[in-house]
Amino acid sequence: MSKNNNKLSIIPLGGVGEIGKNMTAYVYGNDIIVVDAGLKFPEEEMLGIDIVIPDITYLIENKNKIRGIFITHGHEDHIGGLPYFLKHINVPVYGTRLTLGLIEGKLREHNLLEVTKLITVTNKNNIKAGVFTVTPFYNNHSIPDTVGFAIDTPEGVVIHTGDFKFDFTPVDNRKADFHMLAEWGQKGVLALLSDSTNSERPGYTMSERVVGVTIDDTFRQAERRIILATFASNLHRIQQVFTAAERFGRKVAVVGRSMVNNINIAMELGYLQVQKGTLIDPDEVNKLPADKIVVLSTGSQGEAMSALTRMARATHRKVEILPGDTVIIASSPIPGNEKFISRTIDQLFRIGANVIYQQVSGVHVSGHGSQEELKLMLNLVQPKYFIPVHGEYRMLKKHVELAVGTGVEEENCFIVDIGDQIEFQNGRARMGSKVPAGTVLIDGLGVGDVGNIVLRDRKLLSQDGILVVVVTLSKAEGNILSGPDIISRGFVYVRESEQLLDEANRIVTATLQRMVAENVNEWSSLKTGVRDALSRFLYEQTRRRPMILPIIMEV
C-alpha cells in the first residue's frame, strides 16, 4: 500500500446517472489511463442533435499524463466517442481483435487511422501503463471479444467489468474468466466498478442460445421470405441467423450500411462462420423463390432512415415487404424508441406480414446480467469498495442494495455523478472535488458548438415560430423611412391574420416613435423595446410566444 502523498482517483466522465457514453479515468500521480470512450443518442428535447459525447476538458488539460485508452468492447456506447477523443489526445488504444477491427472503420472515416497506434490484447496480457498494470479478462455480452479490466494500482487492484452477463452456454463457446475473477477476489480487491444496466431485473439473463431456438422454430415454420432486424453489432445473433439459414437451405441478403460493415469486418477476422454461397447481393432477392430467402437488416429501433423502416414504407430501393413475409424484430426497445418501433410494427401488420417481436416471443435476450449474475460477480470479486456504473440513478441505487446484500459495507458503496472523484489513499476511500465534466453535443460537423441557448431557441422556434420585424431609420432625424415589414414563419398564417399583423405593425411604429422622441438611439435598446412591446401584445392576442427578431437599419 502507498504511504506517500499520492492517491488513486477514479473519475467517471460518462455512463453514470445515464445509459451510454461510458468513460472512466484512473489517475495516480503523473499517470492517467482511460477506460472506454462512448457516445449516447440524443434525448427528445435535443432538437437536431446527432450524437452526444463526454466532455473531456479534464483529460485535455492533463493530456501529457495519459498513458493509453483501454476499450472493453465494440458497442457504440463504448467506442463511439473515440475519434473525437483521439483528435485531441493521441495515445495508444488497447482492445481485443474484433473491437479494434470495428474501431479501425471509425478511425478511417475520421482520417485518424494512420496516426493512431492500435494494440491488440487478450486475457494473457499484462499491460504496463505508467504505474498501472492492466490485465484483460473475458466476459460474455451481446458482441464477441468483450473484456473487463483488472487494474493493478499502487493502492490495490480495481476490477472494471465493462458490460457483462454470465452466459454458461455462449454461442462462440468462449466462457467468462471466472477463475481469474475468483483469484483476484482471493488476493483482495480494493474496488469493483460493475455494470448496472439490468440491476432492477430479478433472476438470470437467459443464454443467447435461447434466441437460436426461437430463430430455428421461425425458420422451420415460415413459408415465404424472412426479414430479421437486429442490432448490427449483435454478432452472436447474426451468427445464429446464418447457421439457421444454412440448415434450412435459405440464402441471406444483408441490408443497412452498419450491418454490412460489421458483418464484413467480423467475417474477415473470423468471428462469423458463413459457408460459401450463403451470402447473396440484395439485388438477387427478387430472383429467388420466396421460401429460399432471408433478409438481415438494421432498423430494430424503428429509426426513420433505417432499412426496416424504409422496407415497411415501401421506399427501400431493393427490398419490399410483401403479404405473407415473416418479419422478426430481434431486439428490445432502447428507452424512448418505443413509439417508433410500434409505428413500424403497425405498418408491417398493415402490409400483411407476420411480425414476431419481443413482447410476444423469445426473439431477444439482453446482453447484460440480471440480479443473480451481478451478485455472482460481487461474490467472486469480494471488493472492499463498490462503485456501480453504466446505469441511471435508480439502477445504481438498486445495484448498491445487491452489493450490501452480498456483504459489502454500506458506507463503502459510492453512487457517483459524472465528474465526481473517488480518492483512495492508504486503503481508505473518500469523495474528492469535482472535475469539469458533462456532455458535448454533435450536430453535423459541429462538435460542441450547439449549447443550451441554441437548443432553447430551437425549441422556441419549433413550438411558436418566428416573427422578423424589418425597419429602416434615418440617421439624421431618427424617423422611420421604410417599414416596419413583418415576416412570420411558423407563427400564424399571414393571409388569415392580416388584422393581427396590421396591429403589430402599428405597435412597432408607435414604440419606435416614442423611443426616438425620448432620445433613445442605442440599437440594442430600440430592439429590446420593440421586442418587449410586440411580445406582450402577441401573447395577449394568441397566448403564444414566438421568437421576435427586430432588424433595424440606419440610412
d(CA 1, CA 59): 26
DSSP letter for each residue of 501-538: HHHHHHHHHHHHHHHHHTT---HHHHHHHHHHHHHHHH
d(CA 58, CA 60): 6
Per-residue CA distances from 533 to 109, 386, 494 (Å):
51, 58, 20
**Residue 364 counted as an annotated binding residue:** yes
Q: Which residue, among 62, 83, 79, has the nearest Cα to 23 in the 3D structure? A: 79
d(CA 186, CA 36): 27
d(CA 198, CA 17): 14
- Catalytic residue at 457? no
Is the separation of the CB atoms in 204 and 197 below 8 Å?
no
Q: Which residues have C-beta within 8 Å of that of residue 316, sequence separation ≥ 6? A: 255, 307, 310
DSSP letter for each residue of 395-459: HHHHHHHHHHHTT--GGGB----TT--EEEETTEEEE----S--EEEEETTEES---HHHHHHHH
Is the separation of the CB atoms in 41 and 9 below 8 Å?
no
Give rounded-to-5 percent helix, strand, coil for the chain: 35, 25, 40
Is the separation of the CB atoms in 465 and 457 below 8 Å?
no
Q: Using CA of residue 252, residue 256, residue 261, residue 266, what is the dihedral sign?
A: negative
Catalytic residue among 195, 325, 443, 464: 195
The kind and range of the H/E element at 292 are none
Catalytic residue among 368, 390, 399, 464: 368
Chain position carrying cell 473517488 = 422
**Residue 256 counted as an annotated binding residue:** no
| Cell reading at 285 | 432477392
**Residue 297 counted as an annotated binding residue:** no
Partnered with residue 471 across adjacent β-strands are: 552
**Residue 390 counted as an annotated binding residue:** no
- Catalytic residue at 368? yes
d(CA 31, CA 259): 38
**Residue 362 counted as an annotated binding residue:** no
Looking only at the bridges linking them, the beta strands covering 251-255 and 293-297 are parallel
Residues annotated catalytic, as ranges: 195, 368
Binding residues for substrate: 364-368
Binding residues: 364-368
